[in-house]
Each structure stands twice: as structure tokens, then as C-alpha cells.
Amino acid sequence: MHTLPIFAHFRQTAIAALAVLLGVFVFYTSFNGPFESLLQRAIFVMMITALAVLMHPLFEGSRLRPLGIVIDAAIVGVVTVSGTYIIANYETIMNDLPWANGWDMVMGFGTLACVLELARRSSNWVFPLIVIAAVTYAFFGYLIPGQFGHRGFDAGYLTEIIFLSDRGLWGMLVNVASTTLAAFVLFGAILLHTGAGETFFDLSARLGGSRPGGAAKIATFASGFFGAINGSTVANVATTGNFTIPLMKRLKYPPAYAGAVEAIASTGGQLAPPIMGTAAFVMAELVGVNYWSIALAGVVPALLFYLGIYSTVHVIARRQGFRPVTSEDLPDWRGAMTFARLAPIVAALLGLGFGVLNGNSVELTACYGMIAMLVAVLVARISSGEDPRAVIGIIIRALEAGGKGVVIVGILLVGAQVFVAMINLTGFGVAVTAAVLSIGQGQIWLIAGLMAIVCLIAGMGLPTSAAYVMVAAVFAPALIQQGIDPLVVHMFVLYYAALSVITPPVCLGVFVAATIAQAPWMKVAGETLRLGATAYALPMLFLAYPGMLGGGEVGDILRAILSGGVFALGVAHLLGGARLPWGGLSRLLWVVPIGLALMPPWPATAAAAVVFAVLVVFSRKALGAAENIEMQTA
């Protein structure tokens, strides 16, 4: 009778031990540098596979669980044998490019099947089916007529690409996952476990809680802080949403609106520097630039993203009369700003800054941030009289959380690398580019519109990193061939891939928010689209104003910032329903500064700012008059 609980306890212990071991591996290779490429990647894949099997057991809670145990053991065995084979023969693989034999084919396609099964368990069926379709296309492309056909490849050659090279299961994206990405996942885990989570929430409450619509503003700030660390919209909604959504509902916010605020704010976190979620690390590799260039390019768009949300929330709060959070419900500034609370955060930033200024690799820079945090929390806790053993417990829990955090994205990137390899091998991306350019006839905005739609559709049901890789591999060249900077194009794809998580009908972030808010998901989705209107338009502004991503002269950057700011504020006032004193239809006047902000010349930008400022003055007068009437009526 006690066999099942004992087994469950053993599994949880094994998960914790293996996650800590993976965290130690990440920390060690971040500090000392990674092993030889195939060694690093094979070890990483073996570890995340074993951990994924333990975290997502097959047929758990079912009478078929004994069969599930056999299959789980087989998955671990297949991947371990394959990884060990690669480690033992990595010099031959890299130097001699060996021919694939029958045993290689079994190991190669067996390992791929195991990875896709684990991707299915941790995500859903969509991603594995896409990868399977890509491999099938590589086999049977010779049966397809026209520009999308190709000569086809046999099992031996595909095994050499997928298994016996650094282009498939052990490819570039796996390298990113096992080094840079894993280092920052561990960095974020340590940051949260040293108390940053509570501090971020308290700071968010103090920054936004005392203003009209304070609870929604707390959600906006807190979700941005947390999302920048964990890099997952769904995880962000599930964590911060459990605090912010009930708070908004207690203050009489409509449930659908409360869920929408959390959903859109959580989405922006993975687009906010300095961490920017997991996809940004992949982008740095695909574009061929330093990660910090990506982070720097993301600063202005992230600010505009949250400016749009905050302003829309503010306008709605003033119009609807949403109250601030009472002072009794707000944390004390002194409690949030103590040395013990702030020391790890400040130390983390100083560690990152040292690594950047010293010109170190991204993963070593993250390692300096981790070391600085651990030293700071050790000093802060001991100086306050805590037992040093408590700090050791923090370190162990952080390593465990970091190890667990890298599993899902690591598994997905292994599969995504195989997809990219098949796209490059078959020339499918080139064929799609030619087709898109033929349809677009050189019209950049038409091509961009097609890409945006494809990004939103392709990303539905997929984590952002997987959606970004797939769309970037197939469609990004179409815009790059029009002379647009690759960084601009890839940032364009990244934004729409991130937004796909909250775009109906398959909007996982909205589903989670709606569940917490206990509201119909379609209503939550509608409110999310209204609050996120600026976010959906931002990628198009990248094409019109490359200066928004830091490109061009200083004047180009300033114009992009001003135009983007007026656009975001104008959309917020339009969709938030900001009053104007000339009747209901006069609200359409907000379209004027929005339209002017989209015009490239400086005079149009200046006119947009002036018109917007004038409308704001009249809007405040109209709001004041309406509030006086309400007070007199009351």
C-alpha cells in the first residue's frame, strides 16, 4: 500500500538531486568555459532528458503507469547510450565526417523520437508534429512538384545530419541552451531565491498602487519585473497573477479586465532587458551579434510596450473610477528598501556590469552576477544574525530551480534545431522566401503583414523561443532580402512570436489568466487585445523607424522615441476611451496624433506631439467637468 508514496518520494528526491547537479554543471561551465562543443551538448541533452522524464512521467496516476515506467526508462536509456556514443566518438565525428550505419540510424532517429515525446509532454502535440513534418519533407520532397520539391534524402544521409554532426540534435541552438541561456535561467533563479521576488512586488506596489487604478498598475510593474527574469508568459501569469488578479477583483475591477491586465503585462516581461526571456539568446546566435546588442536594442521597444499598457490602464481607471489601493494594503517603503532586501539585486547588477565592462562572455558575465548575489546575501543574512546554513539552503534551492527551469526550453530547442537543419537542407526557406517576395511584389508593408500573420498563427500553442526559431528560419529572409537590417527583422519576428501566446484562438497566457480570474476566456482575450494594441503595432514601427532599435544617427533615434511615445499614448487614450468635450464622436480626434506619429518627416512628428498635448489638455478639462457633475449628483 505504501509502494506508490515511497516511489513518488524517491522520484521527487531524484528530481531535486538531478536538478541541483544540472545547476552545478551550468555554473561550472559558465565560470570555467564550456567543454568541447559536442561534449558540452551531449552531456546537457542527457541531463535534461533524464530530468524531463522525472518531471513529466508517462501515464502518471493511471493504471498504465507500470507501462509508463518502462517507456520512461527506455527513453533515458536511448538518449544516454546515444549521448555516450557521441562523447566517445566526437573527434571522429568532427574531423572525419563518418558515414552512418544501421546502428547510427537507430540511435539518431530513436533519440529524436525521445526528444519529441518529451516535448509533447512538456508542451503539446503542435511542436513535435511540426518537426516530424519537416523530417518527412526531407525524406519525400522529391514527390512534390514545383519550387517546393527537392531531390529527397535517404535515411543514412539524414542520420549524418541529425545525429553525426553539429547541425542536428547537437547543433547551435543546443549550444545556446546549454551555455548562455542556461546561465541566465540560473541567474534568474538565484535572484528570485535571494528575495528579489518579494522586493519586486513591494516596489511595484509602492510605484503604482497609490494612483488611480493602482491594482492594475501593480500588476503591470510586477509582471514586467518577474517576466524579465523567468522569460515565460504562462509561468509569469501563473505566479504574479495569483496575487494581482484577486487584488484587482477585491477592488471591484471586472474579472475579464483583471485577467487581461495580467496577461498582457506578463507578455512584455520576456521582451524587457536585461534578460529578455530565452528567445533573445537564440536571436543573438542567429543574427550573429553580441547578446548585449540585442538587449540594448530592446530597451526603447520595451519602454513603449509598457508605456502603452500603463497609459491605457490609467485612462480606463480615470474614466471608470477605479480606486487606488489603500495605504493599509501597501507595503512600507522602509521594509522594501532594507539592506538585506536590496543587497542581492544591487550586487547582481554590479556583477553584470563588471562582466560587460570587462568584455567577458555572456555566460561568464551572468556567473559574475550570480557570485556577487551569493556574496551579498551571505553578508546581509549573517550580519542580521541568521544562520549561515540558511544561505546554503538558498543556494541549493536556487540551483534546483535553475536546473528545472532550463529543462523545457532545452528540450524544445533540441527539437527546433532539427527543424532548422531540415529547413536549411531542403531549401524550404529559400522557396518560401521566393513565394513571399512573389506575392509581395517588393511591397515591404505587404510582406511584413504576411509575416506578422504567419508569426501569430505559427506561434499559437508554442513557447516563444520555439515559435521564434521556426518563423525566423523560414520567413525572416524575405524581409532581409528587401534591404532591412537583420536585427530589425528578427526583433520583428520575436515580438509577434511573443504576442502569439495571448492571440486568440490558441492563447495559453489568456487561458491561465481567465482561469485565475474566473472569467470567460473570450472576454479576457478581447480586453487583452485592447490593452495590448500598442504592442501589436510596435514591430511595424521597427520597420518605419529603425532608430527605435538604436540604429542610425542620434536624430533618428530621438525621432523614433518621440514618434513611438506619441503613438503609444495616442492609442492608449483612443482605446481607453479618454473623454473630449465635444461629444462622443470627438474621441476619434485621438486618431490625428496617432496618424501624424506614423509619418517619417520631423515636422509630422512635432505636429503629432503638439496635437496630442492640446487634446490632453481638453481631455482633462472634460474629465474634471464630468467628475464635478458626478459629485453634485451624488
Task: Specify the pLDDT at position 633.
Answer: 55
Q: What is the pLDDT of residues 413-430, one digit of tens each?
A: 899 999 999 998 998 888
Task: Show the DSSP H helices in 406-505 as ranges.
Answer: 407-426, 428-440, 444-458, 464-480, 486-499
CB of 221 closer than 8 Å to CB of 209: no
pLDDT at 280: 82
* DSSP letter for each residue of 311-377: HHHHHHHHHHTPPPPPGGGSPPHHHHT-HHHHHHHHHHHHHHHHHHHTT--HHHHHHHHHHHHHHHH
Is-contact 163 100, C-beta < 8 A?
yes
Q: Are 271 and 305 in contact (CB under 8 A)?
A: yes
Whether omega before 273 lies within 30 degrees of 0, making that bond cis, reads: no
Residue-wise pLDDT for 215-250, tens only, equals: 888 888 888 877 777 667 787 888 788 888 998 888
Mean pLDDT of 544-572: 89
pLDDT > 50? residue 591: yes
Q: Please report the pLDDT score of residue 335 as a whole number.
A: 64
Which residue would you say has higher pLDDT here, 586 or 36?
36
**pLDDT over 50 (residue 1):** no
Distance CA 336, CA 352 (A): 23
C-alpha to C-alpha distances, 239 to 170, 234, 512, 634, nearest whole angstrom: 33, 9, 10, 40
pLDDT digits (tens, 9 = 90+) for 87-99: 999 888 888 878 8
| Cell numbers 535561467: residue | 185
- What pTM did the predictor assign? 0.85
Closest CA to 45 of 510, 543, 406: 406
In 3D space, the residue among 189, 165, 227 whose CA is nearest the CA of residue 22 turns out to be 189
Range of lowest pLDDT (65-79, 287-301, 304-318, 373-387): 373-387
Confidence of residue 628 (pLDDT cuts 50, 70, 90): low
Whether residue 274 has a cis bond before it, omega within 30° of 0:
yes
- Least confident stretch, 24-38, 580-594, 601-615: 580-594
Could you give the CA distance from residue 302 to residue 276 in angstroms, rounded to a whole number?
9
**DSSP SS3 for 473:** helix
How many other C-beta atoms can be found within 10 angstroms of the C-beta atom of residue 85? Answer: 18
| Predicted local distance difference test score (pLDDT) of residue 155 | 93
Q: Report the distance separating Cα 487 and Cα 633, nearest Å.
A: 56
Share of the chain above pLDDT 90, in %: 39
The 10s digit of each residue's pLDDT in 182-220 is: 898 888 888 888 877 778 878 888 877 777 888 888 888
- Which single residue is written with the C-alpha cell 526531407? 138
For residue 53, the SS3 value is: helix
Identity of the amino acid at 351 = G
User: What is the average per-residue pLDDT within 147-163?
Assistant: 92
Which tens digit of pLDDT belongs to each residue from 256-285? Answer: 999 999 999 988 888 888 777 777 888 888
